Amino acid sequence: MSMKRLIHDKLRISSIRSQRGSVTDGETQAGPHYDRVRPQGISVLVSATSRILTPIITTPEASKDDLWMKALRILSARDKGNGDVLKKILSETSRFDGFTDILIREVRAKRDICKRKKWTFEFNGRTISLGEQAEKVIQWLDKIKAVGDVTVNVDPIHAGLPWAGIRMLLIAVTSESHMMGTLLVGLDKVLYLIDRCKVYELLYPHNSLIEDSYQNFESALVGLYVVILDFLAVAVQTSKNNAIKRTLTAFWSLDCINKYDTRFQELMTRVEIEAHNCDRLYSRHERLVSQQQTRDLKRILRDLEQLNSTQGQIEIVKDRISGIWEFLDGEKRHEMLLWISVIPFEDHHRMAKEGRTEDTGTWLLRHDQYVEWQSSQQSTILWLHGIPGAGKTKLVSQVIDNLQHDLCEGALVYFYCNRNEESRRKPEQILRSFIKQLSISNDKKAIHQAFINSYDKRWQTGFSSRDPSLDECEKLITDLASTYPKVTFVLDALDETETRSRKRLFDFFNYLIEHVINAKIFISSRRDGDIKRQLERKANISIEATDNHDDIAKFVAERISENEKDRQYPISESLKSEIIDTLLHKSHGMFQWAALQVDQVLSLDVEQDICDRLGKLPTDLKSTYDEIYESIQTKGSKGSEAKVATRAFQWVMGAQTPLSANALLAAVWQEPGNNRVSKPQLDIQFVLNACHNLLVIDPVTRRCYFAHLSIREYFEENHPLIGQPHIVLTKVCLLLLIDDNVKAEEWPEPPLSSSGTIYKLTEYAAIYWIEHLRRCDSICSDGELSWLTSQFFGSVTRSSSAYIHWFEYWAVDEGLFTWDIINQLQPISNPLLAICRFGLCNVLQWLWESDCDPNQVNVNGESLLLLTTLGSDLELVQMLLGLGADANRQSARGDYGTALAAAASTGSLEMVQLLLDAGSNVNQVLPSARYGSALAAAASSSPGSVKMVQLLLDAGADVNQKLSCGAFESDLAAAAHAGSMEIVQLLLDAGADVNQVLSSGDHGNALAVALYMGRVEMVRLLLDAGSDMHQVLPYARYGSALAAAAYSGPVEIVQLLLDAGADVNQKLSCGYYGSALAAAAYGGSVETVELLLDAGSDVNQVIPYGRYGSALAAAAYTGTTGIVQLLLDAGADVNQKLSCGYYGSALAAAAYGGSVETVQLLLDVGADVNQELSCGHYGMAVVAAIDGWDGDMAVVETLLDAGADISRLHTHLERTLVLRSQQPCEIRAKKGDAVKAQWPLV
């Protein structure tokens, strides 16, 4: 059968497979395939050893012909064969829009193949990941798309030259890693040149006024294009030969690629010179390209230069990184980084240094103690402390900038705490941000392997424990930090963190200093008592922030200079000096005080008034704020300013997240007593003016903040109406949600008119009304609030239209909540579900009616009491129990099963004790739940979990209760997965059976869980407690403890089991792999495989159970040639007949997996290409190759070249369809007939 016919039939088979679907063994399949045009056979072999063409300098022409076509004519004149190749490609390629996207899809297909097969390529002494090299090619293509965005009337890529040649080359090169590597390295070089030249073409179009210079420029471009086309033509021709001829063709050698690259660079240098000359001459005449387009195109040029200079070749140099870093594709990388932290720390840094006066803060960098801290070879802490308003945050931003500038091989991580935002006050959020920053390499290309492992462990268990505990965060940070030669942590405003949890941060920082080499920690804060006590325990370095007199002087002088630009009446030099001296003397190091006073002083026009003001300055910040607040109230007594300012302060005080300028503008005009929403008036500048500089707007995010923390504290301490704003904010939120006019005008799409500001505020209200309402002490005592509440919820028997609208549009369509919570709130006709789930005790007290049933349930059968425990409202739990709620009611579905299990998962000891006192059964069997028991829920959760477990044990919890549901099916297994040694020891001390067999799940027993999670010390603890490492596990993915460790655990864990006497040849009765060696072979660790072989593993052990049938087949399936070779060297029988598994032989497993190298390796050592397979889906290896096709014919070609018997293919292929089909018999029969029709006998 001809290769052309084979490819044609292969595409037909792909069509059949897409119709019938594919049932795999759980491994990921390739994505959709795109139609490809195969190049026709060409009889002429062009050797790349021939000369590299020297371009002919073109003569001036009046025609503005396409420069690539000019280059093609020159190439054809010099080398007719290469010119004809490209002409033929052009004639066979249709022109259409969207060619860029087609090329990107082609490269992405190559990238996926390279990544799946883990191809690498040796180039100029470096080991390059081909998957990452393909990513770089995609970036160059994306850049040319950016050119199209700038020049909307010009198509930067159509189906002409050079793009048609590039696509043909992408189609032709499919199989061999060496060839793929040469292609991608070559395209990387060529596309960068094409991108730059295209920008130059657009920047400097033909201009008769500078004809000679333009023709030199055009000649340089065409000369380079000739050599690029020559490269593409030779590459396309040689790619069509068979593997042997390609190997002998010099084009695919590195020397040839380097020779081309040398010529490329020489010609590009000439292009750069001529382009620079054109730019100089064009500047003297009216440009043919608009100024905006010129700026955008030059920006793209800079981007190209930066990308080329910073990326270079994407290297994975084994002796340097030793597996620490891994390059990930964009989607997974994005998902992982968002999982660990969503806090925009870089935005916070940018805002912190906003308005920082130039050359201020440098005194700190020169300070002896700072220099000593930074240069010390020991781990140490530096504490910057000062009074409120001293400018500590600005100093910290200067420190971060300085450290970033000097950053080399070490790491810098930082965090700005902020009392205004809850997420920036919690230790876990701080540490998770540190993890995120430490997990990204300095060049932003790679992710740390330790972080990937942490994420993957959760992913593999379906995120049964989604967020890392503080213990896990601390361990991961320690592990990450230990891999850097130096790591610096910067934490600003420690005093703005939660006071009750601050000690945890102190303890962790002290731990880092003791356990991480060369760890530097910089902390800024006020001198709060607990901070001072903690940081003075060690010999830490401290700096007084009042050393900033020179900075304050520079700041005041700069403000005076800025004021002079718009000032109608100038200030004398002597008065300027007096202003600076007075403010400096009276500020006592308070930057904030100086900033407020200089604005007040400069607002005066008459010099005498300025002098009078300088003599009456308030003495401190409180006096300053008193004066400003009094001025606001006095100035606005006859207008709206005072009212607007008060409302603005209330919203900034109480908002759960900083409001946008539009939302704040809408908020300050709302009058809840009017029972209707008011349209905003004027603009945000009016609001800022009314607030007398106490509020600021971030110029990038457009969000509103107090200008300084001390302003918030002033209102909290001195003005209760502003300091306790939640009743006002709740009224406005509910008013927005019940107003029919708002719903009609703002939903579902916000208008572009000024009322769009109402939409922004409504969006806030829809998200945060719950939190504001929860903070209102009483509803019945406030008539307005009680009316609004009843209008929003309706009655206890029927939801209002406003509540239903909120649920359907905001909660569901806009994705405010997870699907778990959305299900908990249904049916939406019952508002009590939301009231209990969100802990709104004040609302339930207001709406409850005497005939209400306290045991109502949602669609999952979860009771009001269970939902209330999740809302963490202790008072509401007491209320429901008092009304007769059943403490032991079970739910048919959902994550928790009972209120007690739900409460245990939240970590609330008081709530659990309350339920136990009310009669909750601590050993209640749960038929359906995430954990299986209250004790398992407690053992799996981090907050207060040790005390929670002890509380339940004291209440009589059965530590060996057989669980019928949940992820782990025993309390001990749940604890082993969570990772707390203390809880595991607590359960063991309470009599937990360390060898309890689990009847379902992935692991089989607690030891296998600990091994899979890689917890060395926990494994030791369980072994010391008597865990049987040879226990037969009837229900598990791995089948034995050693197999679990071999698959995923670090080598030291496997060694630990071997040292303890583990049987390396234990026969397994369940699991995916059948033996520990097969599990290790599939897991991909060469070290683990070597360890097991050295310990006596039988490389040809008959495996009665599993997916692969032998260790060699498991390794062959993954395409890990290093492990395959290792097993072959150890005596693996390449033609061993397998008694189980999906594939029947090692060769069939490799063929299905799609690795040409592995298939060829097995054939080279004698694999029988026509071996009849007695088990599995395929019957012969070539059928497995067809069923596992991932976008190229390489494996099929290899097997056919090795003598695969095509005449036997039809029977086996039909058998495969029948075996793999999940459809009724009559449909399978029809599909069998279809196969015969598609594959006629040859």
Strand partners, 384: 524, 543
> What token pair was written down for 763?
């969006």
Q: How confident is the model at residue 1095 (pLDDT cuts 50, 70, 90)?
A: very high
d(CA 1089, CA 1076): 9
Which among 343, 359, 362 is positioned nearest to 351, based on CA atoms? 343
d(CA 760, CA 756): 7
Q: Which helix (H) or strand (E) holds 519?
A: strand 519-525
Give the contacts of 22 (CB within 8 A, at least 6 positions apart): 29, 1187, 1220
Angle (CA) 641-646-788 rounded to 5° is: 115
Decide which of 1238 and 424 is more confident. Answer: 424
Q: Tokens 């036997």 map to which residue?
A: 1208
Omega before 827 within 30 of 0, i.e. cis? yes
Q: 316 pLDDT exceeds 60?
A: no
Q: Is the dihedral of CA 422, 423, 427, 430 positive or negative?
A: negative
Q: Per mean pLDDT, which of 157-161, 428-432, 577-581, 1144-1148 is the most reliable? A: 428-432
Percent of the chain exceeding pLDDT 70 equals: 81
> What token pair was written down for 607?
């010099």
Average pLDDT over residues 603-609: 86
Strand partners, 326: 447
Render 917-939 in DSSP notation, one character per residue: HTT--TTPPPSS-SSSSHHHHHH
Which amino acid would we find at residue 867?
L
d(CA 601, CA 578): 12
Helix, strand, coil abundance in the chain, percent, nearest 5: 60, 5, 40
- Provide the pLDDT for residue 240: 63
What's CA 61's distance to the chain center, in Å?
53
d(CA 142, CA 128): 22
Q: Counting beta carbons within 10 angstroms of the beta carbon of residue 800, is it exposed (0 to 12), middle (13 to 18) or buried (19 or more)?
A: middle
- Provide the pLDDT for residue 47: 31
d(CA 803, CA 770): 12
Quick one: CA torsion of 63, 66, 69, 74, rounded to 10 degrees?
50
- Provide the pLDDT for residue 417: 94
Q: Which helix (H) or strand (E) holds 122?
A: strand 120-123
Average pLDDT over residues 92-105: 70
Q: Which helix (H) or strand (E) holds 634?
A: helix 621-635
> What token pair was written down for 1091?
């360890």
Average pLDDT over residues 898-921: 92
What tens digit of pLDDT does each residue of 534-554 get? Answer: 877 654 556 565 677 778 888
Q: Is the dihedral of CA 961, 967, 973, 975 positive or negative?
A: negative
Q: 42 pLDDT exceeds 90?
A: no
> What token pair was written down for 972?
């001990």
Q: How confident is the model at residue 36 (pLDDT cuts 50, 70, 90)?
A: very low
- Provide the pLDDT for residue 137: 85
CA atoms within 13 A on the CB side of 700: 10
Average pLDDT over residues 1189-1204: 76
What tens digit of pLDDT does each residue of 43-54 get? Answer: 222 333 333 443
- Could you give phi then psi for residue 588, rounded to 5 degrees? 50, 40
| Contact (CB, 8 A) for 774 and 730 | no
Strand partners, 541: 382
Give the contacts of 649 (CB within 8 A, at least 6 positions apart): 691, 694, 695, 715, 722
Mode of pairing for the β-strands spanning 411-416 and 126-129:
unpaired
Render 1090-1143 in DSSP notation, one character per residue: HHHHHTT--TT----SSSSSSHHHHHHHHT-HHHHHHHHHTT--TTPPPSSSSS
Which amino acid would we find at residue 1023?
L
Q: 518 pLDDT exceeds 50?
A: yes
Max CA pair span of the chain: 108
Average pLDDT over residues 520-536: 84
Q: Which helix (H) or strand (E) holds 226?
A: helix 211-239
Q: 341 pLDDT exceeds 80?
A: yes
Angle (CA) 555-556-558 rounded to 5° is: 65
Angle (CA) 69-71-72 rounded to 5° is: 60
380-385 β-sheet, strand order: 411-416, 487-492, 519-525, 380-385, 541-544
d(CA 968, CA 940): 10
- Provide the pLDDT for residue 1212: 57
- Provide the pLDDT for residue 539: 41
The CA radius of gyration of the chain, in Å to the nearest whole number, is 36
- Provide the pLDDT for residue 709: 85
Q: 962 pLDDT exceeds 60?
A: yes
d(CA 759, CA 442): 40
Which amino acid would we find at residue 530?
D
Q: How confident is the model at residue 1205 (pLDDT cuts 50, 70, 90)?
A: confident
Q: How confident is the model at residue 98 (pLDDT cuts 50, 70, 90)?
A: low
Q: How confident is the model at residue 127 (pLDDT cuts 50, 70, 90)?
A: low
d(CA 990, CA 958): 9
What tens digit of pLDDT does each residue of 613-662 get? Answer: 888 888 888 888 898 898 888 865 567 888 999 999 999 999 998 999 99
Decide which of 877 and 482 is more confident. Answer: 877
CA atoms within 13 A on the CB side of 600: 22
- Provide the pLDDT for residue 21: 39
How far CA 1010 is from CA of 945, 1023, 1096, in Å, comes to 18, 11, 24
Strand partners, 440: 447
Q: How confident is the model at residue 1241 (pLDDT cuts 50, 70, 90)?
A: very low
> What token pair was written down for 45?
């072999």
Decide which of 1122 and 128 is more confident. Answer: 1122
Helix runs in 806-907, H state only? 819-824, 832-837, 841-847, 864-871, 874-882, 899-906
| Contact (CB, 8 A) for 877 and 869 | yes
Which amino acid would we find at residue 1229?
A
Angle (CA) 1095-1096-1101 rounded to 5° is: 135
Which amino acid would we find at residue 797?
T
> What token pair was written down for 713?
């504290």
Decide which of 529 and 512 is more confident. Answer: 512
What tens digit of pLDDT does each residue of 739-755 get? Answer: 877 655 444 444 433 44
Q: 392 pLDDT exceeds 80?
A: yes
> What token pair was written down for 716?
């909290």
Which of 190-199, 241-250, 369-378 has the lowest average pLDDT? 241-250
Give the contacts of 862 (CB within 8 A, at least 6 positions apart): 824, 891, 893, 894, 896
Q: 556 pLDDT exceeds 80?
A: yes
Q: 65 pLDDT exceeds 80?
A: no
231: left (phi over 0), alpha (psi -120 to 50) or beta: alpha
> What token pair was written down for 55?
């371009």
- Provide the pLDDT for residue 29: 34
| Contact (CB, 8 A) for 500 and 508 | no
Percent of the chain exceeding pLDDT 90 equals: 23
- Could you give phi then psi for residue 447, rounded to 5 degrees? -115, 140
Angle between helices 864-871 and 899-906 (to 10 degrees): 0
Q: 731 pLDDT exceeds 90?
A: yes
- Could you give phi then psi for residue 412, rounded to 5 degrees? -125, 125
- Provide the pLDDT for residue 872: 81
d(CA 1015, CA 495): 35
